[in-house]
């Protein structure tokens, strides 16, 4: 085996593959991507020096097939494999297979992975190492009688966990003795199904703890250091949504004790490489308890990199090369605060249901000193149901926690997609919540604040107004090309004209009718009055440097942008987005009581003629319907009178302003 790594194969996909390639290339190493047929056009494949297709979309036949990965490394001349996270990252067989094949595994030895593979065995090791544990039962006897005895000793509420588990599978909260039998049996079934191992453990259930974890680094020479901590309390279904570093509100002496306990944990299992020790932390008593150790790089590692200035992937590679850690613990410091939001293709307002579809539009925030985007996708890419729905991570930094939070909110306001529902709006609601701003964190944050977090930021009326303004901007109403008068773009409409322009809007299966009037237009700013259901709203706008609008209404400032596709518009209002169709007449429809000629408000097709020449009609009576932009419009009589002439028939295609019906008023006759 070569002493120095020259080529790295990444046994993973998506954003983590791209992130590892970035560091490997900066270190002058060659890169190899393995990919499934479903990922053939993915960005990570295109960015590697060499690529190997290792099978169909099904992970078991591609990314989880160790023999194919080892064969790809040999064929492409790679001398090291980085597993990323997920898939095979904590698989002892891959680590052992690398050793047998003469390849370096950029991670811990198989023995260390195995030591933490069983939660029960890991807790026994930690107890010996003097790492604080939650009161519980981690024994081999899995009989219901023993579980009952131990549960009564621990007390209720208690938590059942799958010994081999993760991701919340096999996990149950039991609040009384009468629930235990049913919950144990259910947890055993789920543990067997998910992990092939039905063994369980019991722990005292902490009602409102925080999830605090410590990043550690160990070299091959027995030296271990901790790179401070992260808070990952905000979770849904036991999966993290927002992570931050350092964990806020922890006394220095507790922070130090937690870091030292994490190092003892690594020392107890002969750990090598980057790893994370996870603790449950009780804010009121400042107690912390070992939960588990992740023997791999964590999804949230960028927040630690942001505050320490260290590249964890680089040090994983250096450690795999046999290099020693050059610091003492006292040499390591952190500066500022960093937060990370995971961008998932999921619908939080529909039970966090994973989403699929094509990313017709993808606009990610620009990278800067304070904003980092680790992305695994590109515009035009199709999101399939085969893999984890996490598409990217947005990380923001600030001198203080408040600044980091504000920077992350701003970055999420600039993350836009059309075609796939994302969780960005929901994450922004969490970030904006007062308890989050005040660092009142708990693993039950989402559960406790469920009702508040389920409320969309914008009311239906506000969305209607924003949709109209976005449509006007998308169609060039707010621009003045070649110095032309913007008012002339509205087919004869003039500022100050008392005649309101009508519009129709389709959103979420509902149709809304309204009128608008441009009140002011100057260079890159103006205002629009919108009338909906006899209520008038003034919307002021100004053009931002990047082309989006800053909209002011109801005392709020909203970043507004859009993307058009066919006759549908996707509106981006801060981190929220929604599809909409807007119909805007190219001329004002004649609905005044004196109008004798009813004209087509826009290009379209007549779907029904509801009157005939000579027929007596009354004011408000429907005379004709037409379809335009997949929406139906009704032309009505403005006064009592007689139909003088019908100038079209059902099925006719008509032009904007074309006279369709002529009426005769009683005065004229």
Q: Which two tokens stand for residue 582?
A: 């807007």
CB atoms within 10 A of CB 183: 18
> DSSP alpha helices (H): ranges in 242-300?
252-268
- Separation of alpha carbons 126 and 262, rounded Å: 10
Helix (H, G, I), strand (E, B) or coil at 456: coil
Which residues lie closer than 8 Å to 375 by C-beta, 6 or more apart? 15, 18, 43, 364, 391, 392, 393
CA 610 to chain centre: 50
Q: Which of 373, 314, 308, 388 is nearest to 340 (CA)?
A: 373
Contact 662, 597 (CB under 8 A): yes
In whole angstroms, what is the distance from residue 446 CA to residue 456 CA? 15
Q: Is 539 helix (H, G, I), strand (E, B) or coil?
A: strand
Query: Cα–Cα distances in Å, from 414 out to 303, 361, 375?
Result: 20, 12, 14
Three-state DSSP state, 505:
strand
- Residue 296 is a catalytic residue: yes
Contact 480, 486 (CB under 8 A): yes
- Separation between Cα atoms, residue 420 and residue 88, nearest integer Å: 28
Of 149, 507, 85, 122, nearest to 316 (Cα)?
A: 85
**Secondary element (H or E) of residue 528:** strand 525-532
Q: Which pair of tokens denotes residue 417?
A: 């997609």
Burial (Cβ within 10 Å: 0-12, 13-18, ≥19) of residue 656: middle
CA distance 660 to 624: 9
**What is the pairing mode between strands 616-617 and 235-236?**
unpaired
Does residue 246 have a cis peptide bond before it, meaning omega lies within 30 degrees of 0? Answer: yes
DSSP string covering 194-247, please? HHS---EEEEEPPSS-EEEEEEEEE-TTS-EEEEEEEE---EETTEESEEEESP
Task: Name the region of 651 (left: φ>0; alpha: ψ -120 to 50; beta: rest).
Answer: left
Beta-sheet pairing, 235-236 with 210-218:
unpaired
Backbone angles phi, psi at 19, to 5 degrees: -65, -40
187 is written with which tokens?
């947890």
Q: Facing residues of 518 across strands? A: 528
Closest alpha carbon to 320 in 166, 124, 107, 127: 107
Q: Which of 19, 172, 230, 296 is catalytic?
A: 296
Closest to 398 measured CA to CA, from 306, 505, 332 = 306
Residue 512, CA atoms < 13 Å, CB-side half-sphere? 23
User: Is residue 443 packed enough to be buried (19+ CB in 10 Å), middle (13-18) or exposed (0-12)?
Assistant: buried
- DSSP, collapsed to helix, strand or coil, labels residue 430 as helix
Give the residue numbers marked as catalytic: 296
């Amino acid at each position: 085996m070569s002493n120095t790594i020259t080529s790295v194969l990444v046994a993973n996909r998506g954003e983590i593959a791209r992130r590892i390639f970035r560091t490997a290339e900066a270190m002058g190493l060659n890169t190899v991507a393995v990919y499934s047929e479903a990922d053939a056009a993915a960005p990570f494949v295109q960015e590697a020096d060499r690529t190997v297709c290792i099978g169909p979309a099904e992970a078991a036949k591609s990314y989880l097939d160790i023999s194919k990965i080892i064969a790809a490394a040999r064929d492409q001349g790679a001398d090291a494999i980085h597993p990323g996270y997920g898939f095979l990252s904590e698989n002892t067989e891959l680590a052992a297979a690398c050793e047998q094949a003469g390849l370096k595994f950029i991670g811990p030895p198989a023995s260390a992975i195995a030591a933490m593979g069983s939660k029960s065995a890991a807790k026994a090791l930690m107890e010996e190492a003097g790492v604080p544990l939650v009161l519980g039962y981690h024994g081999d006897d899995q009989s219901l009688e023993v579980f009952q005895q131990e549960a009564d000793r621990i007390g209720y509420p208690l938590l059942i966990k799958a010994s081999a588990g993760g991701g919340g599978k096999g996990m149950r909260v039991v609040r009384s003795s009468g629930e235990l039998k049913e919950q144990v049996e259910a947890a055993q079934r789920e543990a067997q199904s998910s992990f092939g191992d039905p063994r369980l453990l019991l722990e005292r259930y902490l009602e409102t703890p925080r999830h605090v974890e410590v990043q550690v680094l160990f070299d091959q020479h027995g030296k271990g250091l901790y790179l401070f901590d992260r808070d990952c309390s905000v979770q849904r279904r036991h999966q993290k949504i927002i992570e931050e570093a350092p964990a806020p509100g922890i006394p220095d002496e507790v922070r130090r004790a937690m870091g030292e306990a994490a190092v003892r944990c690594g020392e107890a299992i002969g750990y090598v490489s980057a790893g994370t020790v996870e603790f449950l932390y009780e804010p009121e008593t400042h107690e912390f308890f070992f939960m588990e150790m992740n023997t791999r790089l964590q999804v949230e590692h960028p927040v630690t990199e942001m505050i320490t200035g260290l590249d964890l992937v680089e040090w994983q590679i250096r450690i795999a090369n046999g290099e020693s850690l050059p610091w003492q613990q006292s040499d390591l410091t952190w500066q500022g605060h960093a937060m990370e939001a995971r961008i998932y293709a999921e619908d939080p307002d529909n039970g966090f249901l994973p989403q699929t579809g094509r990313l017709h539009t993808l606009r990610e925030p620009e990278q800067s000193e304070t904003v980092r985007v680790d992305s695994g996708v590109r515009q035009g890419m199709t999101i399939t149901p085969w893999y984890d729905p996490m598409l990217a991570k947005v990380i923001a930094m600030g001198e203080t926690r408040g600044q980091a939070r504000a920077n992350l909110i701003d970055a999420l306001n600039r993350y836009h997609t059309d075609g796939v529902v994302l969780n960005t709006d929901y994450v922004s609601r969490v970030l904006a919540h007062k308890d989050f701003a005040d660092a009142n964190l708990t693993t039950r944050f989402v559960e406790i604040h469920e009702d508040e977090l389920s409320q969309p930021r914008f009311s239906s009326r506000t969305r209607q107004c924003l949709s109209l303004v976005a449509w006007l901007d998308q169609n060039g109403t707010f621009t003045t090309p070649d110095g032309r008068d913007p008012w002339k773009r509205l087919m004869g409409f003039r500022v100050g004209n008392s005649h309101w322009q009508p519009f129709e809007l389709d959103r979420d299966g509902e149709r809304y009718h309204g009128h608008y009037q441009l009140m002011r237009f100057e260079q890159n700013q103006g205002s629009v009055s919108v009338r909906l259901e006899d209520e008038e709203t003034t919307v002021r706008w100004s053009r931002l440097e990047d082309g989006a609008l800053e909209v002011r209404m109801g005392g709020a400032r909203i970043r507004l942008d859009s993307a058009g596709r066919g006759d549908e518009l996707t509106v981006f209002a801060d981190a929220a987005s929604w599809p909409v169709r807007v119909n805007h007449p190219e001329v004002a429809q004649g609905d005044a009581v004196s109008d004798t000629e009813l004209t087509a408000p826009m290009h379209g097709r007549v779907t029904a003629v509801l009157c005939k020449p000579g027929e007596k009609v009354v004011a408000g009576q429907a005379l004709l319907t037409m379809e335009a932009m997949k929406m139906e419009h009704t032309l009505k009589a403005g006064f009592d009178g007689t139909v003088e002439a019908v100038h079209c028939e059902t099925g006719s295609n008509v032009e904007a302003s074309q006279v369709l019906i002529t009426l005769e008023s009683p005065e004229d006759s």
